[in-house]
């Protein structure tokens, strides 16, 4: 198996639970106990109401494909192993994520339903990607 050379997340104390959950193949986001909104990416305070009462909650893993691009020529050689699909997914719970779609580009349409796909890129690290919903 070839070595994984792409950038890997380096979790902070704040974001560690997100990546730990991903490794368990669970999508967990912070939810604000004060204004009841989910947030992404993980933060120390809610960006909506500034409350620090944030609890980790499991999410459905369902969302829609907000936008996508087929990257033919990446800005770094680290991603030169072939075209990949970079996307923004909007989760059912509200927040959007930068992610990849694991599917042929021809099958993709803006706003189509997608579902989470956990990619164990290294033994230690799992990235949160998506695929078209069945």
Partner 1 sequence: MSLKGKAAAIGIGELKPYREPTDATALDLMAAVAAEAIADAGLEKKDIDGLLVGMASADPGMIYPSAIGEMFDLRPRMLNVLDIGGASGAGMIWRAAAAIDAGMCNAVLCLTADLNRLGRRRPPMISLMYEFEAPYGAIGANCGYALIAQRHMAKYGTRPEQMAKIAVDQRTNALANPLAFFNDSPLTIDEVLNSRYICEPLHLFEIVSPMSGGAAVVVASPEIALRSKHPPVWLIGAGEGSDRSSVTYAPEITESAVKGAAETAFKMAGVERKDIDLVCPYDCYTITVLVTLEDAGFCKKGQGGPFVMDHDLTYAGDFPCNTHGGQLSFGQPGLAGGMSHVTEGIRQLMGRGEDRQVKNARLAYVNGNGGIMSEQVSLILERLS
User: DSSP E strands: which ranges in 3-134?
Assistant: 28-32, 38-39, 54-58, 62-71, 84-91, 96-100, 113-120, 126-132
Beta bridge mates, 127:
119
Q: Least distance in Å: CB of 40 to partner 1?
A: 8
Q: Least distance in Å: CB of 104 to partner 1?
A: 13
Which one of residues 34, 98, 104, 120 is an interface residue with partner 1 (CB under 8 A)? Answer: 98
Q: By CB under 8 A, is residue 49 in contact with partner 1?
A: no
Q: Which stretch binds partner 1 (CB under 8 A): 26-34, 48-56, 64-72?
A: 64-72
Q: By CB under 8 A, is residue 23 in contact with partner 1?
A: no
* Cis-peptide into 41, omega within 30 deg: yes
Within 99-118, the residues that bind partner 1 by CB under 8 A are 99-100, 105, 109-111
Q: How far apart are CA 101 and CA 114, in angstroms?
A: 9
């Amino acid at each position: 198996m070839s070595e994984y050379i792409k950038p890997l997340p380096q979790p902070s104390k704040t974001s560690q639970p997100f990546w730990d959950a991903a490794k368990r193949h669970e999508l967990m986001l912070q939810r604000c106990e004060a204004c009841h909104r989910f947030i992404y990416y993980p933060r120390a305070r809610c960006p909506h109401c500034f409350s620090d009462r944030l609890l980790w909650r499991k999410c459905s893993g369902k969302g829609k494909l907000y936008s996508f691009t087929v990257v033919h020529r990446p800005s770094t050689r680290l991603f030169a192993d072939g075209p990949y699909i970079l996307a923004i997914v909007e989760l059912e719970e509200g927040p959007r994520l930068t992610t990849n779609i694991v599917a042929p580009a021809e099958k993709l349409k803006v706003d189509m339903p997608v579902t989470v796909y956990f990619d164990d890129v290294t033994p230690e690290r799992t990235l949160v990607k998506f695929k078209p919903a069945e």
